[in-house]
């Protein structure tokens, strides 16, 4: 009756979200005095999971599952949960995790709590804290079904190392043609770019930057910090930046350690989406901009003067602290 | 093609979020309700299928009578018929089960939901509905074309996008991108007048049970004062980020 965690990998390597989900699931397993089993798909080396509390890995290796397929993955996760008699299944809230979690919930007739940010308040009844109203509130949710599905928010729990090794076992779920009725034709993904979902640092620009030609300094800052670039909604609506960079209530959520907002006013819809970032910095020439009320650190002034200077200083800092 | 668009009735994005009854309930006092933004993008795509491909577009909501102005607005945007399942929504499972019953009986080819509603942010209904109906499912959908009984959908993934194909019936969780912001329609007078006469059918619930329960709410701790750094002294900012916040 172990806890089961889905550990996402890409090109055979585990994603940080997978290790975080494992760390978190270990906490639940401990609270329930049981062990932790992971299910991994086409991962090269599953031993890494042992460091984050996984006791056993059900390792699936299949060419048919090379591309993520929500239905097939959900079916495999269900079979793993049944094999392990798992009462709790944990997934991280990556795009793929959010895609398959509700399907897993249907397969297991399990209640599902998404955007969970902390270990259960209690495991019987099973109660978890999650965000609601796009980070404007928290919501304590009780899952009343026998099996529970928990979606762990990004960067909410962090990595937690434990002693021990993960025993790996090959696992062959029985998949049928019905699992493969949605097919991937092509994937379009920048290989060497940090994604907003996985970034430790996000550098974001708003309408205050006046036009797409001025994004060089934002990209430069992102480069120096190893950050992802983002933008406010009007910036993507005007086509200055791609939609995939739009963050906020109607765009992507940000939960990075550091969020740097340049020329962004801090409208309520923008702040809602980035509130989960741990530290927020704003650079804006209007001292009355609402962002100053939401930020930890602020610089009042012209971005076109401040950002190039800051970039030079960040470069020096990085050179010294490399 | 028969399209069903699921409409969630949510607080306007500028709403102040407060709770009542010992922090156990959302306080709707003074709150304006709107069509969930993610649903509105999907509804607008449905209107495109109606105009260009002759689709019929029904909308559906699980909720009490208070959601009817939101449904009338969706009708004013151009949907043909509204269905309201007359019960208070309590969790994603219950809502999806209620929707699945009516949607299943209606034999829809395409069911458009938003990727999540902006109130509880569950992100559950589209996937659970698809699972219950055994229909194909595409989440975070930012592009959708239908040709005969074949759909081509673009899904946003972490760091990019992918193109998927599937046959109908299909359920999607839509978001901005499935249409552009500039494609959204503000209902005109004619639309609003027509909407008053369009059917809004109230259906009694099947009594589906919820799998989760919101026990209580809590607001985030108030934020401390911002620390302002002089633009002439940016070294201090780097020092704060490195030594105090420990994020670089
Ligand atoms: C339903 C709905 C959903 C929405 N969802 C989102 C969302 O998800 N994400 C989002 O971002 N927005 C969203 N919005 C829009 C939001 O209300 C704001 O309009 C938007 O966030 C403003 O973007 P901005 O800060 O880039 O632009 P502005 O509000 O125009 O702010 C620009 C800022 O730049 C500053 N500035 C100008 N020049 C300089 C300079 N030289 N140096 C430094 N600073 C300068 C100005 O002082 C100003 O504060 C939504 C709105 C609605 C109605």
A246 Cα nearest atom in ligand 1: 9
- B236 belongs to a structural domain: no
Ligand 1 contact via A275 beta carbon (within 6 Å): no
Supply φ then ψ for residue B161, to 5 degrees: -150, 165
Mean pLDDT for chain B overall: 97
- Would you say residue B230 lies in a domain? no
CB of A269 closer than 6 angstroms to any ligand 1 atom = yes
Q: CA nearest A216: which of A181, A241, A233? A: A241
Q: What is the pLDDT of residues B92-107, one digit of tens each?
A: 999 999 999 999 999 9
CA distance B16 to A311: 37
How far apart (Å, rounded) are the C-alpha atoms in residues A208 and A214?
Answer: 10
**pLDDT tens sequence across A107-142:** 999 999 999 999 999 999 999 999 999 999 999 999
Average pLDDT over residues B35-62: 98
**Residue B244 included in any domain:** no
Number of Cβ within 10 Å of residue A237's Cβ equals 16
Structure tokens at A281: 């910095």
Structural domain tally of chain B? Answer: 1
Which chain A positions have a beta carbon within 8 Å of B142's beta carbon?
243
Q: Is A305 in the pocket of ligand 1 (CB under 6 A)?
A: no
- DSSP character at residue B67: G
Pairwise CA distance, residues A250 & B36, whole Å? 10
Binding residues of A for FAD: 207, 263-270, 284
Q: What is the pLDDT of residue A193?
A: 85
Any chain A CB within 8 A of the CB of B32? Answer: no
Residue of chain B whose alpha carbon sits nearest to that of A233: B181
The answer to whether the CB atoms of A257 and B235 lie below 8 A apart is no
- Tell me if residue B131 falls in helix, strand or coil: helix
Question: Is residue A86 very low, low, confident or very high in pLDDT (cuts 50, 70, 90)?
Answer: very high
Per-residue pLDDT at B223: 86
Q: Across residues A167-196, what is the average pLDDT?
A: 94
* A78 pLDDT more than 90: yes
CB-CB neighbors (< 8 A) of A181 in chain B: 136, 166-167
Domain A3-180 grouped into CATH 3.40.50.620: yes
Residue with tokens 């260009």: B52
Q: Which spans in chain B are helix H?
A: 37-53, 68-77, 92-106, 125-133, 189-197, 234-239
Q: Where are the domains of chain A?
A: 3-180, 201-321
Residue B25 lies in a domain: yes
pLDDT above 90 covers what percent of chain A?
96
On the question of pLDDT at A190 being above 90, the answer is: no
Q: Whole-angstrom Cα distance, residue B223 to residue A292? A: 11
Distance from C-alpha of B170 to C-alpha of A275, rounded to nearest angstrom: 34
d(CA B41, CA B46): 9
Cβ contact B120–A233 (<8 Å): no
Domain for residue B247, yes or no?
no
Chain-chain contact of B234 with A139 (C-beta, under 8 angstroms): no
The token pair that represents A106 in the structure block: 């249907």
Q: How confident is the model at residue A322 (pLDDT cuts 50, 70, 90)?
A: confident
Whichever domain contains B215, its CATH number is 3.40.50.620
Calculate mean pLDDT across residues A89-103: 98
Q: How far is A321 from chain B (nearest CA, A)?
A: 10
| Preceding amide of A57 cis, omega within 30 | no
| Whether residue A207 has its Cβ less than 6 Å from ligand 1 | yes
For residue B243, tell me if it sits in a domain: no
Pocket flag, ligand 1, residue A306 (CB < 6 Å): no
> What are the tens digits of pLDDT across the range A271-321?
999 999 999 999 999 999 999 999 999 999 999 999 999 999 999 999 999
Q: Is B142 touching A (CB cutoff 8 A)? A: yes
Q: Which residue range(s) make up the domain with B168?
A: 2-221
CATH architecture of A201-321: 3-Layer(aba) Sandwich (3.40)
Question: How far apart are the CA of A269 and the centre of ligand 1, in A?
Answer: 9
Separation of alpha carbons B122 and B126, rounded Å: 10
Helices B68-77 and B37-53: crossing angle in degrees, nearest 10, is 40
For the segment B184-203, the average pLDDT, to the nearest whole number, is 96
A255-285: string of b/e by CB count within 10 Å (b at 16+)?
Answer: bbbbbbbbbbbbbbbbbbbbbbbebbbbbbb
| A94 and B CB contact within 8 Å | yes
- Average confidence score pLDDT of chain A: 96
Query: In CATH terms, are A3-180 and A201-321 the same topology?
Result: yes
Spatial separation of the C-alpha atoms in residues A30 and A86, rounded to whole Å: 14
| B225 CA distance to ligand 1 middle (Å) | 21
List, as ranges, residues 98-127 from B with C-beta within 8 Å of A.
Answer: 118-127
Residue B110 has pLDDT above 90, yes or no: yes
**How far apart are the CA of A28 and the centre of ligand 1, in A?**
40
Are B121 and A70 a contacting pair at CB < 8 A? Answer: no
Sign (positive or negative) of CA dihedral B228, B233, B238, B240: negative
Q: By the 8 A CB rule, do A120 and A128 touch?
A: yes
* The pLDDT value given to residue B215: 96
A192 — pLDDT class (breaks 50, 70, 90): confident
| Beta carbon of A285 within 6 Å of any ligand 1 atom | yes
For residue B17, list chain A residues with Cβ-Cβ distance below 8 A.
Answer: 133, 136-137
Cβ of A237 closer than 6 Å to ligand 1, yes or no, is no
Nearest CA to ligand 1 atom 11: A232
- Mean pLDDT over A78-82 rounds to 98
Alpha-carbon distance B126 to A84, whole Å? 28
Q: Do A114 and B223 touch (CB under 8 A)?
A: no
Number of continuous H segments (helices) and E segments (strands) in chain A: 8, 18
Q: Rounded distance, CA B61 to CA B68, Å? A: 9
Contact A70, A96 (CB under 8 A): yes
Report the C-alpha gap between A313 and A299 in whole angstroms: 15
Contacts of B211 in chain A (CB under 8 A): 105, 110-112, 143-145
């Amino acid at each position: 009756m172990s806890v089961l965690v889905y550990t996402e990998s890409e090109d055979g390597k585990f994603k940080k979200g997978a290790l975080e989900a494992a760390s978190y699931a270990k906490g639940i397993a401990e609270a329930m005095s049981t062990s932790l089993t992971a299910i991994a798909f086409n991962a090269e080396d599953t031993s890494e999971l042992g460091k984050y509390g996984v006791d056993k890995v059900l390792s699936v290796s299949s060419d048919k599952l090379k591309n993520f397929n929500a239905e097939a993955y959900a079916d495999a996760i269900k079979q793993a949960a049944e094999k392990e008699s798992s009462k709790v299944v944990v997934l991280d809230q990556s795009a793929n995790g959010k895609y398959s979690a509700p399907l897993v919930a249907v397969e297991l007739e399990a209640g599902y709590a998404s955007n969970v940010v902390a270990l259960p308040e209690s495991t019987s009844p099973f109660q978890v804290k999650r965000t609601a109203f796009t980070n404007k509130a928290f919501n304590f949710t009780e899952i009343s079904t026998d099996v529970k599905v928990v979606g762990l928010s990004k960067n909410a729990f962090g990595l937690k190392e434990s002693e021990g090794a993960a025993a790996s076992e090959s696992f062959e779920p029985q998949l049928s043609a019905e699992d493969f009725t949605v097919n991937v034709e092509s994937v379009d993904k920048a290989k060497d770019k940090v994604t907003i979902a996985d970034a430790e640092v996000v550098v974001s620009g708003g309408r205050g930057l006046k036009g797409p030609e001025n994004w060089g300094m934002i990209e430069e800052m992102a480069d120096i910090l190893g950050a992802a670039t983002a933008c406010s909604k009007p910036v993507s609506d005007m086509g200055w930046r791609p939609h995939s960079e739009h963050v906020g209530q109607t765009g992507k959520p940000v939960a990075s350690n550091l969020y740097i907002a340049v020329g962004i006013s801090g409208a309520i819809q923008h702040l809602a989406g980035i509130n989960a970032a741990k530290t927020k910095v704003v650079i804006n020439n209007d001292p009355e901009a609402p962002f100053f009320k939401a930020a930890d650190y602020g610089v009042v002034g012209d971005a076109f003067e401040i950002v190039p200077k800051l970039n030079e200083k960040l470069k020096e800092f990085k050179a010294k602290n490399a | 093609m028969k399209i069903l668009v699921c409409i969630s009735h949510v607080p306007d994005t500028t709403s102040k979020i407060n709770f009542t009854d010992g922090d156990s309930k959302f306080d709707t006092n003074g709150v304006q309700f709107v069509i969930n933004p993610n649903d509105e993008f999907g509804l607008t795509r449905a209107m495109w299928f109606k105009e260009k491909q002759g689709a019929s577009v029904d909308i559906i909501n699980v909720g009490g009578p208070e959601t009817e102005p939101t449904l009338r607005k969706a009708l004013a945007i151009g949907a043909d018929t509204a269905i309201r399942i007359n019960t208070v929504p309590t969790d994603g499972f219950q809502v999806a089960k209620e929707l699945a019953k009516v949607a299943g009986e209606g034999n829809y080819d395409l069911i458009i939901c938003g990727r999540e509603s902006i109130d509880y942010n569950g992100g559950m209904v589209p996937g659970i509905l698809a699972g219950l109906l055994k229909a194909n499912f595409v989440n975070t959908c930012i592009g959708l074309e239908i040709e005969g009984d074949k759909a081509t959908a673009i899904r946003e993934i972490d760091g990019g996008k992918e193109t998927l194909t599937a046959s109908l019936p299909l359920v999607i969780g839509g978001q901005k991108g499935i249409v552009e912001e500039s494609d959204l329609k503000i209902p005109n007078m004619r639309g609003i007048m027509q909407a008053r006469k369009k059917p809004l059918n109230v259906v009694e619930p099947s009594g589906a049970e919820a799998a989760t329960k919101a026990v209580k709410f809590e607001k985030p701790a108030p934020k401390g004062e911002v620390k302002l750094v002089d633009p002439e002294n940016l070294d201090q900012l780097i020092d704060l980020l490195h030594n105090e916040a420990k994020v670089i």
